[in-house]
Amino acid sequence: MGAISQKSAEFLLRSRLADAEAGDVDALFELGVTYSTGRGGIAVDLIEAHKWFNLAALSGSTRGQECRAEIACEMTAREIAEAQRQARSWLSTTSVHRRAA
């Protein structure tokens, strides 16, 4: 990936993370899509994708629920447990307070 593409991917990620921390459900979902598909040159990471889809689902996103269920079929129980742990950890460090499933 070129330097410009890498910078664009990093900017997209930082921007979406900031929006997610502010409670933007679409940003939570888009982070899940980014990590599940490798969009923008980001490495595919199903644990990270599940975490973001889970957080989106907890915020009322039906798309988040559907995508979380879809990628869970490709994950081990240990990977899902790790994604859930990371979602709880993220919730504990942000102003968005919901219980992670």
pLDDT tens, per residue, the chain with 101 residues:
555 577 777 888 899 999 999 989 999 999 999 999 998 888 999 999 999 999 999 999 999 999 999 999 999 999 999 999 999 999 999 865 454 45
All residues at 6 or more sequence positions from 63 whose CB lies less than 8 Å from its CB, including other chains = 29, 56
Tokens of 34: 């980014």
Contact 44, 51 (CB under 8 A): no
Contact 41, 74 (CB under 8 A): no
